[in-house]
A and B are shown apart, each in its own frame.
Chain A
Amino acid sequence: MEHKKFSKLELLKLSLKYSKLNLKCTLEYKFDRFFTTLAVFVREMVSIAVMYLILTRVISIKGWQMNEMFFLYSFLFLSYCIFIFLFTGIRDFDNMVYTGELDRYLIRPLGLLYQVISARVDYCATIGHGAVGVILFLSTYNSVGIDWNFRNIVYYILALLGGVIIQTSLFMVSSCFSFWAVRTTNLRNLIFFNSRRFAGYPISFYPGIVQKMLIFAVPFAFVSYFPSEYFLHKPDLSVFWHGCLYLTPVVGIIMFTLVYIFWRLGLKSYSSSGNSMY
C-alpha cells in the first residue's frame, strides 16, 4: 500500500492544488455557501446563547463565571474548526466507503489516508465553527486573567492541537467500522456529539460516572476542561489528578497511534461496497 515515490514537497504541492480545487467548488455557489456558513454559525451559537442567558441570571455556576465558561467552550470550537479544516475527509469517510468513492482512491498511486484527508475541505463548517470559537476566544482571553507569556502560548497551541488529534481519532474509530461494512454514522453522531455537549460545561458539573467517561472513554475532558483548567485553576480541579493538565497532547498521540493501527487492520479486510457510483 505504501508509495514512496513522491517527495514531501510534491505532496505538499498536491495538497495545495486539492485545496484550491475545493475552494473553487465552494465558491461556485457563493450565495448559497454564504448562507450555509451563516446557518452553521447560528446553529452553534444556540448553546452559547443559552449559556449566556443562564449566566446573566445566575452570574456564576460552581464558581465558574461567564467569561471563564466561554473560554472553556472556545477550546471545543477552535479545535473542531481546525479538525474540519484539515480532516473533513475523515468525517465523511463512512460516506466514501458507502458510495464507493474510496475505490477510486485505492487505485491511485498515493497513500490512502493522504488522499482521504486532502480530497475534501468543508469550508462552511470550518468558518461557521471557527467564527464561534474566535468570537468566544477574543471576548475572553483578556478577561480571564491569563498571562500570555511564551510558556502559556506554547501550552495553548499544544493543547489545541492535542484536542484536534483527539477528535480526529474519535472520528477515525467510527470510520474503521465502515471497513467491515457497517453504517455507523448514527452511532458516531450519537457518541461524538453527545459527548461534545457534555464537554461544553466544566466536567465537575456532572456525576462521577460521566466524568470518568469523559476522561477515559471519550476523552473530551482533555479537549476543553483540562486545558482551560491549566489557565484558570478553579477549585473544582482538586478532585482530579493534577497531571491531567499536561496530558492533552499525549492522549491525542496515544489515541491516534492505536486508531491508526486499527485502521490499517481494517483496510486489509476491506472489500468494496460492490458498485461504485462514480
Chain B
Amino acid sequence: MYRVDYFAGVINTLVMIFVNIAIWKAIYEADDNLGGVQLKVVMTYIALAFLMQCIFVMEDYFIESKVTSGLISSDLLKPISFRAYVFSYNVGSSVFRVLMQLLPTLVISIFLFKLLPPFSTEMGILFFFSAVLGYLVLYCLNFIVWMSSFWFYYTFSLVTIKDALVMVLSGALIPLWFLPQWLFNFVKLTPFESIFFTPISIYLGQVPAADIKTAIIKQVAWIVVLALAGHLLWNAAKHKLVLQGG
C-alpha cells in the first residue's frame, strides 16, 4: 500500500514535469527566444520547481487532527515544545522524501529532460542554501494557516486556498518573469517569491551576483516576520484551546 504511494509520488512528479515541458516546447515553437529566455532555461526551471515541490510537501492536517481529536492535550504535557515536535516531524518526512523520492526522480529527469547544470558552482551552493530558506518560508506560512484550526476546527478550505495561492504566485508552475509587470511587482512584495522563485533563479544565474545578497536577506526577513506572526498566533491559540473530552 505504501509502496504504491511512493511510486505514485515519483511518477506524479515526472508526469508533471513532462506535461509542462511539452507545453513550453509548444510555446517556444513560434518564438525561440521568448523575452530573452531560452527554452533550455525554462525547461530546467520547470523541472527544478517540480522536484522542489516533491520535497516541500508538509502535513497540512497534522495540527488539525491533533486539535479535533483532542490528542493535543497529551502532546502539550510532554516535555518537548509542541512546535518543535511539529517542525521536526515535517523536516523528518522531508528528509525521507529527499532520499526516497527526490534522488530517483532527479536521476531520471537528468537523463529524460537534459537539465542544465547550475550556472556556476558558487550558484549551486547558494541555490541549496536559498532552497532551505525557501522551505522555511513555506513552513512558517503553513504554520500560520495550520494555527487556524484552533478557531475553525476544519481547515480544508483555508489550506486548499493557501495551496492555490502558493502554486500560482511562488513560481511553482510558471517562471515569474513571464508574469505581467504589475503582478510581478505585487508578488515581489509578498513572501511567495521567496519560496520557489528565488532559489531557482539563483540556480539558473538569473539573479545578478550583486543582488543575491538582497534576495537571501529578503528570504530571512520573511522567515522572521512569518515566524513572529506564527508565534503570536500560537500564544493566542494556547489560551483559546477548548477540548471536547480528549
Contact = CB atoms under 8 A, between A and B. Distances in A.
Interface in A28-63: 32, 35-36, 38-40, 42-43, 45-46, 49-50, 53-54, 56-58, 60-62
Nearest to B3: A186
Contact of A58 (B18, B34, B158): B34
B160 A49 contact: no
A206 B180 CA distance: 27
Contacts, number: 88
8 contacts: A39-B160, A40-B160, A50-B173, A58-B31, A61-B26, A183-B1, A194-B12, A201-B19
Contacts of A206: 19, 22
9 cross-chain pairs, A with B, having the tightest CB-CB distances, nearest first: A35-B157, A39-B157, A39-B160, A205-B26, A194-B15, A42-B164, A190-B8, A46-B164, A186-B4
Contacts of A32: 154, 157
A43 B8 contact: no
Interface of A: 32, 35-36, 38-40, 42-43, 45-46, 49-50, 53-54, 56-58, 60-62, 183, 186-187, 189-190, 194, 197-198, 201, 205-207, 210
Contact of B12 (A35, A190, A207): A190
Given A54-B27, A61-B30, A194-B11, 9 more contacts: A46-B167, A54-B23, A57-B180, A58-B27, A61-B27, A62-B30, A201-B23, A205-B25, A210-B22
B6 to A, nearest CB: 10
Interface of B: 1, 4-5, 8, 11-12, 15-16, 18-19, 22-23, 25-27, 29-31, 34-35, 154, 156-158, 160-161, 163-164, 167-168, 173-174, 178-180, 183
Given A38-B161, A46-B164, A194-B12, A54 B1 contact: no
A66 to B, nearest CB: 13
A42 B157 CA distance: 9
Nearest to A206: B22
Contacts of A210: 18, 22
A206 B21 CA distance: 9
B19 A197 contact: yes
A42 B161 contact: yes
Nearest to A205: B26
